[in-house]
Chains A and B, each alone.
Chain A
Amino acid sequence: SQQGEEDPQALSIQEGENATMNCSYKTSINNLQWYRQNSGRGLVHLILIRSNEREKHSGRLRVTLDTSKKSSSLLITASRAADTASYFCAGGFSGGYNKLIFGAGTRLAVHP
């Protein structure tokens, strides 16, 4: 079962534009994480936001979390061709085995 559902499934933009991806989840979580996957590679952890946080920044990344709506967004500012990848959100649970449940991902294409 998927915890996160990303929207849109695919996004195509020009270099320099901002890219916004949304994620909705079903059950209460302890944290929400975002990962990037380049074609044919493994996932790379981008950012983690805790359930008691509303916004977090890391370089050109901005993540928001709205626990009342069970949703999160990832904003990539001033996108570059190198940002072309799939982006996954994952609902995290700090108990037990650090369970993560991933969504199906958003495919981002940034055109030069």
Chain B
Amino acid sequence: NAGVTQTPKFRVLKTGQSMTLLCAQDMNHEYMYWYRQDPGMGLRLIHYSVGEGTTAKGEVPDGYNVSRLKKQNFLLGLESAAPSQTSVYFCASSYSRRLSLNYGYTFGSGTRLTVV
């Protein structure tokens, strides 16, 4: 099925551990995004990418790094996890600006991360 796939779906980390969240899309979308969702706060943008090999900071980038080595994949890394990073993480993708006026984002199903 076409769409955005996130792995893993659940993870528990100890403070200070590292991990990588993987996002893969098969819709040939140019743009990809990582959001975190916390209760009562909606979604906040962590990092985004407008194409292979490019990344940029969003609203809440501290403590996270990203890479987009291939157009279809967007990785989110936590180098030293902290309890404040306990959240649900969503990856999304979209067409480029030229096509964007008729399309929204396509989201993955999320990764629930708990840092203890």
Contact = CB atoms under 8 A, between A and B. Distances in A.
A94 B107 CA distance: 18
A42 B104 contact: no
Interface string B37-71: 00011111100101000001001000000000000
B114 interface: no
A21 B14 CA distance: 40
Contacts of A25: none
Interface in B1-57: 4, 31, 33, 35, 40-45, 48, 50, 56
Contacts of B90: 42-43
A85 B72 CA distance: 29
Task: Give the size category of B's interface with A.
Answer: 20 to 34
B42 A97 contact: no
* Chain A interface bracket (under 10, 10 to 19, 20 to 34, 35 or more): 20 to 34
Contacts, number: 69
Contacts of B31: 97-98
A5 B44 CA distance: 14
Interface in A57-112: 88, 92, 94-105
A14 interface: no
Interface of A: 1-2, 4, 30-31, 33, 35, 40-45, 48, 50, 88, 92, 94-105
Interface of B: 4, 31, 33, 35, 40-45, 48, 50, 56, 59, 90, 92, 94-97, 100-110
